[in-house]
Amino acid sequence: MTSHGTLGVAVIGTGRMGSDHVRRINDVISGARVAAVADIDAARAEHLAGGIEGCTPYTDPAAAMDDPAVDAVLIASPGPAHEAALLTAFARDLPVLCEKPLTPDPASALRVLAAEQELGHRRVQVGFMRRYDADYLALKSRLQQGVHGRPLMLHNKHRNADTPPGFTNAMMIHDSVVHEIDVTRWLLDEEITAVRVLRPAPTANAPEGLSDPQLILFETAAGQVVDTELFVNCGFGYQVSCEAVCEAGTARIGDDRGVFVNAAGRWGGTLTPGFVERFEEAYDRQVQRWVDATRRGEVEGPSCWDGYAAAAVCEAGVRAQQSGERVTVELAERPALYS
């Protein structure tokens, strides 16, 4: 860190999320600056670094982490590249904010868990940004305080206007439902034990071969049931909501965001076009909290265990999707470091 305590961050992967985090670190949050960027696409890294004073571009993530101006690492490369980047950061004992997923499958996530345990302390915050969204935080607070009694069920909706080319059924679990997996575990403070997936007749707007919408059912260790309607070619915008049904009431977030208008014979508001706009403040808060904790020498937020558990539920989810059967989640024992 500089004499002013400014955290020098290496951003690994400078695509959609990485370049947005670079902008966020430099222009939105405080206490950090982008000291290095790394991307296997040299031109992309050079272009991004060119606009930032004191930022060096690299094609090799390890070289970026070895830059003397670097104190911490933000990993925003594609999921399959995360394990290598995490192990490289661990070898240098650098603090990490790792975009979700921690890794794409439970076996690689377990290797990361083992490596972090060998370090003997937590080094990673996983980028499950919904935990930093004001609405989700308010809902979590109500559940934690028991305002409505014991939670019995959650009803989630997760809708996107459309999907990018090549979006598959497995990606509906790994890239979309993974967020409901994390908020379910976090809001209810329970592990997910089993998954079922129902696939209604698809919309004509879904690409060939994509089952869209899908209804995903989770069971938790405490016997709660959680349903998620996932509809990723709904055509009208981005919409995420969650209703907790408790013993003495319900609480719902995600509706009526922004300004409510009466005009031209209609009432209503506007939907955000995508996750970047809907969760912009959550991304900002997530990165600010990571920088603040790191400067204090602490680690907080979603852990490698949360990343591993999400990967285990995703694996069960894809099997449930393919088989139409109820699939039990296979979870390793939770290590003491994450208790």
Point out which residues bind ligand NAD (CB under 6 A).
12-18, 38-41, 44, 61, 76-79, 81, 99-100, 127, 129, 275
Closest approach of Cβ 329 to ligand NAD, in Å? 21
Please, which residue, 57 or 213, has the CB nearer to ligand NAD? 57
Please, which residue, 40 or 337, has the CB nearer to ligand NAD? 40
User: Which residue number places its CB atom closest to ligand NAD?
Assistant: 15
Closest approach of Cβ 228 to ligand NAD, in Å? 16
Phi/psi class of residue 254: alpha, beta or left (left: φ > 0; alpha: ψ in -120 to 50)? left
Confirm if 328 and 316 have CB atoms less than 8 A apart. yes
Please, which residue, 96 or 151, has the CB nearer to ligand NAD? 96
Please, which residue, 79 or 317, has the CB nearer to ligand NAD? 79
H helices, E strands: number in the chain: 11, 15
Closest approach of Cβ 19 to ligand NAD, in Å? 8
- Cβ-in-10-Å burial (0-12, 13-18, 19+) of 20 comes to middle
Closest approach of Cβ 82 to ligand NAD, in Å? 7
Closest approach of Cβ 253 to ligand NAD, in Å? 17
Rg over CA atoms, the chain:
20
Residues 6+ apart with CB under 8 A from 142: 148, 244, 251
Please, which residue, 79 or 95, has the CB nearer to ligand NAD? 79
Phi/psi class of residue 209: alpha, beta or left (left: φ > 0; alpha: ψ in -120 to 50)? left
Nearest residue to 238 via CA among 276, 283, 201, 285: 276
Please, which residue, 130 or 196, has the CB nearer to ligand NAD? 130
Distance separating alpha carbons of residues 131 and 185, to the nearest angstrom: 11
Distance separating alpha carbons of residues 283 and 179, to the nearest angstrom: 14
Closest approach of Cβ 51 to ligand NAD, in Å? 16
